[in-house]
């Protein structure tokens, strides 16, 4: 028996393509209907138009399609007539081309079994998109036959995806925390006994694509988002391709369907994708976010800091005594709990790269940040006091710990690094080992170099110079302030 993904791979190699043609008959793309018709007559008219529209697209693009992906919603809306049209559309797809039903089902027990029967037996499709939120038992009816495939929603390309998919999940038995979408990928790998599970990972999210590819090196991805949704082909391919140049299906619908010549549009897009694949194979390497690349979540926070008054421009004397044209005051975060939660979540990917036992927050601005990280991840926290207690336990470090444990320093900003070294000395004197320093913003004023001389590595969510670039792009900061701050940074580096 040939498995679903063996068929996909064979087809991709045979026609040298990664294109998956979406069959999404939007009403605005169909001939106008008579608005005076009763609903049943209108459904008949629209279902017929949707069927003809899809069949024309199939005939035009089948030479370049690894798979076709009809979206069931565009047919269900026309009731029984629409479903009859969907059956005809699927029947029109050449037998050698796999059919993926875009249905995003997710239910349990007999309901899941009925959905699987509908997709695989009644509609005779080869694969289906599923929502894994209900867990493994909801997927079992779809996984019984290795010749049928499933794509689990992992990291989608819609704007609200981060509401749930980017939530931090505490790792089991001391494992580092990870985002929910990464947990889905890990579960999919564990559930993939019959090698018939793939993942939906949006092409608009190259950082997520790279993270998921690192977790599941061999799985196939359904990666929607290029074309109308704005996904950049080179970044998506560099992030998501397997080492053999395969492993991704790129669904495209409107970009091809609305072209004057859909066949030519499909061929051109196939060739463009292949050109990027060739360039990558000749030494471009895997996509990883550079220090200058900001994720959508980082951009939201960077602009949120401005609007919350955490960033001010003028003339300010810093703790180090330096006169600065910019003042960063993250103490303001306590009055904006939603932004505080977003800020804290940005620390988590950096923390995942380190091995440690506890967080060690530096007073005062980092205390609410580290506390929020602790609540988000379950990681225990301590903090060194600025001054020793003169009563009670006379503790210099608050919280439970054991000598020999490794801690990560959490702070809000890094300027010269002197204040961190003072706090670090207290922790080291108590027998703790420092696994690293993580801050939100590196002011690029020598802290990283100072800490490195002390044998410590600093990790920053943002470099101040990159934030200035973003604020310039957004138009939220007058040019004179940006110029003064850049000049200040350059003078600091020259020193």
CATH number at residue 95: 3.20.20.70
Assess whether 319 carries a catalytic annotation.
no
Our count of domains for the chain comes to 2
> Are 425 and 393 within 8 A, CB to CB?
no
Q: What is the pLDDT of residue 389?
A: 60
In this predicted structure, the answer to whether residue 291 has a pLDDT above a threshold of 60 is no
Q: 289: pLDDT confidence band, cut at 50, 70 and 90?
A: very low
- Domain shared by 253 and 209, yes or no: yes
Phi/psi for 182 (5° steps) reads -70, -35
Q: By residue range, what is the domain housing residue 77? A: 4-284
- Domain shared by 130 and 278, yes or no: yes
| Separation between Cα atoms, residue 230 and residue 225, nearest integer Å | 6
Token pair 């929020």 is found at: 372
pLDDT tens-digit series, residues 65-115? 999 999 999 999 999 999 999 999 999 999 999 999 999 999 998 999 999
| Separation between Cα atoms, residue 140 and residue 192, nearest integer Å | 11
Residue 264 in domain: yes
- Domain shared by 264 and 190, yes or no: yes
Q: What is the pLDDT of residue 227?
A: 65
pLDDT tens-digit series, residues 168-198? 776 655 556 678 999 999 999 999 999 999 9
- Domain shared by 268 and 302, yes or no: no
Token pair 């089902």 is found at: 105
- Domain shared by 134 and 93, yes or no: yes
Catalytic residue among 69, 96, 104, 194: 104
- Domain shared by 189 and 338, yes or no: no
- Domain shared by 257 and 340, yes or no: no
- Domain shared by 351 and 433, yes or no: yes
Residue 291 in domain: no
> Which CA distances in Å does 281 have to 51, 221, 250?
40, 19, 18
Spatial strand order of the sheet with 358-361 comes to 397-398, 381-384, 358-361, 406-414, 433-442, 458-463
In this predicted structure, the answer to whether residue 489 has a pLDDT above a threshold of 90 is no
- Domain shared by 233 and 364, yes or no: no
- Domain shared by 279 and 310, yes or no: no
Nearest to 116 by CA among 151, 125, 274: 125
| Separation between Cα atoms, residue 43 and residue 33, nearest integer Å | 10
């Amino acid at each position: 028996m040939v498995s679903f993904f063996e068929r996909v791979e064979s087809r991709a190699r045979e026609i040298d393509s990664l294109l998956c043609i979406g069959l999404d008959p939007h009403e605005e793309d169909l001939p106008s209907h008579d608005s005076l018709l009763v609903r049943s007559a209108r459904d008949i008219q629209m279902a017929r138009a949707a069927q003809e529209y899809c069949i024309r697209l199939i005939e035009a693009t089948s030479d370049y399609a690894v798979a076709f992906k009809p979206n069931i919603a565009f047919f269900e809306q026309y009731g029984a007539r629409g479903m009859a049209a969907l059956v005809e559309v699927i029947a029109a797809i050449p037998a050698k081309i796999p059919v993926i039903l875009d249905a995003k089902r997710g239910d349990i027990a007999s309901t899941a079994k009925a959905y699987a029967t509908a997709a695989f037996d009644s509609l005779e499709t080869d694969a289906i998109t599923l929502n894994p939120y209900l867990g493994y038992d909801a997927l079992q009816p779809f996984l019984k036959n290795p010749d049928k495939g499933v794509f689990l929603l992992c990291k989608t390309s819609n704007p609200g995806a981060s509401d749930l998919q980017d939530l931090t999940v505490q790792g089991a038995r001391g494992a580092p925390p990870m985002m929910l979408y990464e947990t889905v990928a890990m579960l999919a790998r564990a559930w993939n006994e019959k090698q018939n599970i793939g993942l939906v990972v949006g092409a608009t999210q190259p950082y997520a694509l790279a993270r998921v590819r690192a977790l599941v090196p061999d799985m196939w991805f359904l990666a929607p988002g290029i074309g109308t949704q704005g996904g950049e082909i080179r970044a998506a391919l560099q992030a998501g391709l397997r080492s053999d140049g395969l492993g991704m299906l790129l669904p495209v619908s409107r970009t091809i369907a609305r072209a004057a010549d859909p066949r030519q549009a499909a061929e051109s897009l196939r060739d463009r994708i292949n050109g990027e694949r060739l360039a990558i194979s000749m030494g471009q390497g895997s996509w990883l976010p550079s220090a200058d690349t900001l994720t959508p979540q980082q951009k939201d926070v960077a602009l949120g800091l401005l609007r919350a008054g955490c960033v001010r421009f003028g003339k300010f004397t810093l703790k180090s005594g330096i006169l600065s044209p910019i003042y960063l005051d993250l103490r303001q975060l306590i009055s904006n709990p939603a932004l505080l939660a977003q800020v804290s979540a940005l620390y988590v990917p950096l923390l995942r790269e380190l091995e440690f036992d506890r967080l060690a927050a530096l007073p005062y601005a980092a205390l609410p940040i580290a506390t929020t990280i602790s609540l988000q991840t379950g990681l225990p926290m301590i903090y060194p006091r600025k001054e020793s207690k003169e009563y009670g336990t006379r503790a210099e470090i608050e919280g439970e710990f054991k000598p020999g444990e490794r801690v990560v320093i959490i702070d809000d900003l890094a300027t010269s690094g002197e204040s961190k070294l003072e706090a670090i000395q207290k922790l080291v004197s108590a027998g703790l080992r420092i696994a690293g320093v993580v801050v939100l913003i590196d002011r690029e004023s020598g802290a990283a170099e100072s800490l490195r001389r002390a044998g410590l590595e600093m990790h920053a969510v943002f470099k101040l110079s990159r934030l200035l670039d973003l604020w310039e792009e957004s138009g939220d900061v007058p040019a004179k302030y940006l110029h003064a701050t850049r000049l200040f940074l350059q003078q600091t580096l020259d020193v």
